[in-house]
Each structure stands twice: as structure tokens, then as C-alpha cells.
Amino acid sequence: MKIRVLGCSGGIGGSHLRTTAFLVDHDILIDAGTGVGDLTIAELAAVDHVFITHAHLDHVVSLPFIMDSVGDMRDRPLTVHATAETIRILQDHIFNWRIWPDFSQMPGDRPFLEYSVLSEAEPVSLNGRMMTALPVNHTVPAVAYQLDSGVASLVFSGDTGPCEDFWAAVSRIKNLRYLLVECAFPDTEKALAIESCHYCPSLLMSDLLQWQPCWTSDVAVFITHLKPGKIEMTMHELAAYGSRFPVDFLQNHQVFDL
């Protein structure tokens, strides 16, 4: 399983800043932020499944454009996997005929889009690749994802603030190799992080240190969803904690092999 970072920023502002999206092999997307726009038409048409963490715009903004751009090039609907609550938000506020056409109902008898409801802790198997939703804590219904090749796992937190259930679930993954966890704000904006259910360095490092004994030493931690203009500050604050558990920041075009 190959996971390619298309976007991992908490905002936009230049060719290096794309919002959240990951391409798994050639046919699966995890979220559909602005990073999806860098895929070619052929690459877009090859995507069969999109797993959505939550319905905030920076994670779903490209989803309507995928339908519009390549829906008629495909021989079957694109499957959007999400919790029932997230699907309802997409139906009510995006694919509602006012913001965008409802491509789950059109065109005619061959709609471009279909939904698949997923539940936390129930794996979805796609040709031997397992996608499992994990609990997180955010301002809207949201999940993290475990991507398991059968040999190793990667966990992507999506958007979350402190969440004991998330760390408990992560600690049980025996083949965990990569943890991609958000840290949206620096500690100077800790109050905003708490209010918006995001991490800042002090909150994140507290949880990392708490759960560190559950992991093997070869787990690599990458920080995602850093806010533009605050990347260096936030990473400096994380480094200042001097954890024996090193962290690095996630970058566009990184590739992870599982």
C-alpha cells in the first residue's frame, strides 16, 4: 500500500500549501481537500473510493469538482465512505441542488456518486487493504482512519483535540508504523485550539507522552494541519518539549509505503 500526500496544510497560500488529501495507491482518497486539484484528469478518473474524516470545507472542497470533472468518464459511481452524520451534512449543505447538484441522484439511472455508511471500529476491506474509522473529538462529527496493509498500519487523526478514546485505539495497533496527527495552532493560541477542538503543542505532547509506552520505538510521528504562517513557531514549540519520541512535520508529496 502506497500513501501519497496531496495536501496536509491547515490553509492555503502558495503552491506548497494544499488542504488535506491523501491518495492511497491509485484508487482511494482519504479526504478531498484542495490537494486533490493537483491530480491529473486520468488520476481523478481512477479514484473509486473517498473516505471522509469530517465535513469541514478544507477536507471536502474538491469532492464536488471530482464529480463534475470525471463523473461521465467512469463506468460506476464514486463511493464516498463516511459516518451517517457526515453523509447527512454533505447531503444537506453541499449536494443539495443549491450549492451543488445532487450527483447521488443524477444523471438519470447512472448517478456519479453513491454513499457508504461506516461505523467506528468496523474495518472496510478493499482488495486486502483495511480502512478503519477511529474516534476523535472535534466540533462536528469526525473520525480518524487506520490504514492497514496487513503488514503495517498508518493512522491519520484528521481534525481532533484531546481524545482519550483516540489514543486508546491507537495504542492497540500492534503493527503501527506511522502516526499522522494534527497540531493546528501554536501554544500562543491555546485558547483557540481548545475552543475549536484542535491540538496545540502542549496538549499534543501531553497525550503523546502519556501513550508513548504503548508503542514500539520504530513508530514515526508526523505533524499535519499546521496553520500557514505558524509552521515554524508550532514545530519549534513541539521540539522544545524535548520528547524522546521525535516528531517531524508532514509535507506535500511525501510517500509512505506499508
The confidence score (pLDDT) of residue 215 equals 55
The confidence score (pLDDT) of residue 216 equals 57
**Number of separate domains in the chain:** 1
Least confident of 135-144, 168-177, 184-193, 241-250: 241-250
Q: CB count, 10 Å around CB of 59?
A: 25
The confidence score (pLDDT) of residue 212 equals 56
- Own/partner pairs, 40-47, CB within 8 angstroms, 24+ separation: 41/69, 41/70, 41/73, 44/69, 44/70, 45/70, 45/73, 45/74, 47/23, 47/78
* pLDDT tens, position by position, 62-92: 999 999 999 999 999 999 999 999 999 999 9
**Spatial contact of 148 and 170, defined as CB atoms under 8 Å apart:** no
pTM: 0.96
- Residue 129's identity, in one-letter code, is R
Least confident of 41-55, 100-114, 153-167, 211-225: 211-225
* pLDDT tens, position by position, 240-258: 886 666 789 999 999 999 9
Pairing of strands 2-7, 129-135: unpaired
- Counting Cα atoms < 13 Å in the Cβ hemisphere of 193 gives 24
**Spatial contact of 249 and 235, defined as CB atoms under 8 Å apart:** yes
**Spatial contact of 158 and 145, defined as CB atoms under 8 Å apart:** yes
The DSSP symbol for 89 reads H
Q: Is the pLDDT of residue 17 over 60?
A: yes
CB within 8 Å of 185: residues ≥ 6 apart: 192, 193, 198, 199, 200, 227, 230, 234
The confidence score (pLDDT) of residue 210 equals 73
The DSSP symbol for 110 reads S
- Mean of pLDDT values over 181-200: 97
The confidence score (pLDDT) of residue 1 equals 97
**Spatial contact of 18 and 224, defined as CB atoms under 8 Å apart:** no
CB within 8 Å of 106: residues ≥ 6 apart: 112
Name beta bridge partners: 124.
131
- Counting Cα atoms < 13 Å in the Cβ hemisphere of 46 gives 11
Task: From 19, 104, 112, select the one nearest 69 (Cα to Cα).
Answer: 112
Q: Is the pLDDT of residue 213 over 60?
A: no
The confidence score (pLDDT) of residue 211 equals 72
The mean of the pLDDT values for the chain is 94
Helix (H, G, I), strand (E, B) or coil at 192: helix
The confidence score (pLDDT) of residue 200 equals 97
Q: How confident is the model at residue 155 (pLDDT cuts 50, 70, 90)?
A: very high
- Mean of pLDDT values over 117-130: 96
What values do phi and psi take at 110, rounded to 5?
A: -135, 70
> What CATH number is given to the structural domain containing 206?
3.60.15.10
The confidence score (pLDDT) of residue 109 equals 85
Beta strand ranges found along 9-142 (DSSP E): 21-24, 28-30, 49-51, 78-82, 113-117, 124-126, 129-135
Percent above pLDDT 70 for the chain: 96
Pairing of strands 78-82, 113-117: parallel
Domain carrying residue 234: 2-257
